[in-house]
Chains A and B, each alone.
Chain A
Amino acid sequence: MIELFKQPNIDWMGKAKYFYALSGLLLLAGIVSIVSQGGIRYGLDFKGGTNVDVRFAQPPNIDRLRSGLAAQGLGNSEIQSISDIANPNANEVVISLEQKGQGDQALDVSKTQIINALNTIYGASNGSKPDFNAATPTSLAAFLTQRDPLLLSTNAGDRYSQLAKKILDYRDRNKNGVLTNFDDLSNVNGVTPAVQSAVKDNFTLGAFAIRNVEIVGPKVGAELRRQAILVTLYALAGMLVYIAFRFEWVYGAAAVLAVFHDVLITIGFLSLFRFEISLTVIAAMLTLVGYSMNDTIVIFDRIRENNRLLRRESFADVVNKSINQTLSRTLLTSGLTFLTVLVLFLMGGQVLRAFSFALVVGIVVGTYSSFGIAAPMVVAWNRWRGQGLATSTGSAAGSKTRTSSGASGRLAPAGRR
């Protein structure tokens, strides 16, 4: 049997004040970071605006891009380079613009401006030939059907749409959306020299391709923000009720407070590392709420069970013992889940970057808060109650069957610590 610990015997509750101090420090760091950045950085989903994700054939010159955008009256746009470990030279940037006017202005006015600016900078559409890197399956299929380079007599439409799909799949999957040389098309199954030259003669190769466009109106942003906060609060309330029902209300309150602490610290870390809060980050937040709750419940479950068995020991000792007994499970599960989200963070691609970062932080903080925050709070409550109500009629966790004298007798020693 391989074991992480033989018989851990750590006095967790004795270290509660260090845990509180650590949490206070982390919370403070997050608050300082948020305040110094002028508030929480909301993503497009919550503040509204336009994001255009562009991939270039060559590494883009950011200064030239910036001055070109400024020349089109888009001086307030932000340019952010995208690269990740799997793809360090992605030649990709996100150009974002906050929604200026609203009301009757067309929603996509900023998008059109950005694309016009890019066309001006890179001199796209020289001549009247369409850009191959902007071709869609429909447009390419229509072109091929019209030209008929394979001289098909039957089913030409279907066969050319399949061919068009294959060609563009090659462009998008193998060439990341930007073809730089028409000769590469010969690698596509079904492309004959006739097809290749037809495409080559009638298309140009633009210097960039639009990979992603997101436009969110300002009204939607405000609505989504409101919704996200409500969803989180409802979910927390739902959990509070369930735990209060299964254990006791003080356990529910402690668990929810601990989870709240996790969310705040994670938001602080997101701010420290300049991540924006988007809809997917909210999904991550809710995941870590569930995860941290999971961890806390495992420990609470053990406390409930031990409370019945170990009547002679103080409540703090029972809690210590419970944490120690579940320690190897806690570390195993957290370690494995941490590894999982770490892989996601490193390899999940740009879209999942902020999501997985929130989980990486959240799992560490969530695991810590179960024994560092939630459990000490329950102990503190019991101690306070034990002292404040000398003839307590309350009962400890899960001990509803026990007599009240037994409960207070057992709680009193907790105060001695």
Chain B
Amino acid sequence: MNPNLKWKALFIVAVILFCIYVLIGTPKFPTSVQDIKDNFSHQIKLGLDLQGGTHLILQVQVQEAIAQETDQTVDRLIGQLRAKDIHYDEIRRVDDTHILVRNIDPAQLSTFRDIVTAQYSNVWDMSAAPGDPSAYLLTLRAAAVAQIQDQTMQQSLETIERRINALGLTEPTIQLHGRKDNEILVQLPGEGDPTRAKAVIQAGGQLELKLVEDQSSYSSESDALAKHGGVLPPNTELVPGNSERRAASGTPETGESWYLLSRAPVVTGRDLRSATENRNTNNPGQFEVNFTLSGDAAKRFGPFTEQNKGRQMAIVLEHRVYSAPVINGRIDDSGMIEGNFSQESAHDLALVLRAGALPASIKYLEERTVGPSLGADSIRHGVQASVLSLLVVMIFMLFYYRLSGANAVLALILNLIILLAVLALAGAVLTLPGIAGVILTIGMGVDSNVLVFERIREELRNGKSAASAVESGFAKAFLTIIDTHVTTVVSAFFLFLFGTGPIRGFAITLTIGLIANVFTAIYVSKTIFQYHLSKMDRQGQLSI
């Protein structure tokens, strides 16, 4: 054998051995058939459509976080103007990113400008308001909007990740989805009922402890307002009780209740050190959530409870008062949330409190749940169809091209092995459209072989010798094969770039398969022909 051919053969064998090792030889060196199976299913990860599970796409309502930033700025500005005794008619939020300041006392205008320039100009742009010479318009800079957006998305992602991880599901995926629209993709393999996961993700988790201003609660919002002559006292707010939540859990509470609370919270969810669910000591059928506060918050909370002994303290979750116990004495660092909780709901609430609040609310855009039995069906059908079509193709090739057909069959099998190994190495998951991509790869692989073989036959018909027919057959088919493959890869590239989900999976398998095919159908197949030719005498006939 000529040395060039020997190196080629060595290279091919090395590639094949490596691919086989990737597929079945790792992570545990196989010593039994079961090991091989385990290794294989470890290396080839199945998509949700094949193994069952839940796929959720949710959208973070980022504009809420932006509006919040604007609201906070309005509050700060009012505070600063008051502190400097600057007079104005109105400061208000116009929309999510604009603040209107009207009629600053002309004598104090320069002080106002100084404050804005010194403290706000890196985030806010100030300009004269259109159509009102006495007013200024503050506009949130685009860069600041983008930054809030990024932060909100990042924080939402991390919070959801912590919450989902605490549920103890197997291998969840949580990642940003798409290039815009603030979407997050959550995949929960093997999870057939997403109700609980969805509730945990969506829970806002905003806990606040606030002082109750009026000792008695009100049966309606208008009652409370009437009591105060239609206007709430400054820095207070009306918050409803949690009757709705109780009604939803089965024991309806008659009537509404409203509490007048001080606006500023003493303690918020950020001050929590831990939260756990426990059985209610008075009512063993029910559960409650106990929490402890971090050191800083405890330092504030101790004196606060000391001062307000005998008053009520509201525990507010998601803008609803869960309970409003009377402060009996100094409390430093612990508290509890009572409600009509089951063990599961108390557990989930504790989990959400520990994981922290979401910076903005979320909305579900898409939910897909593939039951495990459908996944099993799909994989069975997909594998059966692939194996059967492979068999049909192989039998035909052997029948039609004889010994050269065996060459083609070998190239096809190698193609599949390389394709699967690259999928495993890239950590890509095999989905149903992916299997379709595999089947199409088989089709394209056969096409390459047929192109080459038909060319060789033509050359033989034209009276060439076996060796030169093989040489020119490959040479002539080569350009065609490259053209067809590049065209398909170009389209697969666009599918990958702009497609999502199933289309991407399809594009990935097809691209890998086509590249592997150029290697097997041209390089490997030609080497086998050359080896065969080197073994036979010059006048020999090619079996094709």
Contact = CB atoms under 8 A, between A and B. Distances in A.
Interface of A: 1-3, 53, 55, 86, 106-108, 111, 134, 136-138, 168-169, 171-173, 175-178, 209-217, 219-220, 223-224, 227, 230-231, 234-236, 238-239, 242-243, 246, 279-280, 282-284, 286-287, 289-291, 293-294, 297-298, 301-302, 305, 325-326, 328-329, 332-333, 336-337, 339-341, 343-344, 347-349, 351-352, 355-356
Among B382, B393, B503, max chain A CB count under 10 A is at B503
Nearest to B375: A172
Given A2-B399, A215-B366, A329-B451, A340 B442 contact: yes
A293 B487 contact: yes
Contacts of A339: 389, 392-393
Interface stretch (B7-15, B30-38, B246-254, B488-496): B488-496
A215 to B, nearest CB: 4
Given A294-B484, A298-B484, A227 B499 contact: yes
A227 B179 CA distance: 12
Interface of chain B, main secondary structure: helix
A298 B458 CA distance: 15
Contact of A351 (B49, B444, B497): B49
A415 B444 CA distance: 37
B376 A172 contact: yes
A279 B504 CA distance: 11
Interface string B189-207: 0111100001000000000
17 contacts: A1-B544, A2-B399, A108-B364, A137-B190, A138-B169, A216-B366, A223-B181, A234-B494, A236-B491, A242-B490, A279-B503, A291-B443, A293-B488, A301-B479, A301-B483, A329-B451, A336-B393
B367 A344 contact: no
B463 to A, nearest CB: 14
A106 B382 CA distance: 35
Contacts of A134: 193
Contact of A136 (B57, B192, B457, B476): B192
Given A294-B484, A337-B447, A349-B382, A209 B490 contact: no
Interface string B439-483: 110111011001100100110000000000000000010011001
A81 B138 CA distance: 60
Contact of B373 (A171, A224, A352): A171
B226 interface: no
B491 A289 contact: yes
Interface of chain A, main secondary structure: helix
A340 B373 contact: no
B373 A343 contact: no
A217 B366 contact: yes
B381 A349 contact: yes
Among B377, B491, B500, B506, max chain A CB count under 10 A is at B491
Nearest to A161: B170
Nearest to A215: B367
Q: Which 5 A-B pairs have the closest CB atoms?
A: A177-B373, A349-B381, A172-B373, A337-B443, A235-B491
A290 B491 contact: yes
A409 to B, nearest CB: 27
Nearest to A289: B491
Contacts of A329: 447, 450-451, 454
B491 A211 contact: no
A209 B432 contact: no
A240 to B, nearest CB: 10
Given A279-B501, A329-B450, A329-B454, A294 B487 contact: yes
A341 B439 contact: yes
A207 to B, nearest CB: 15
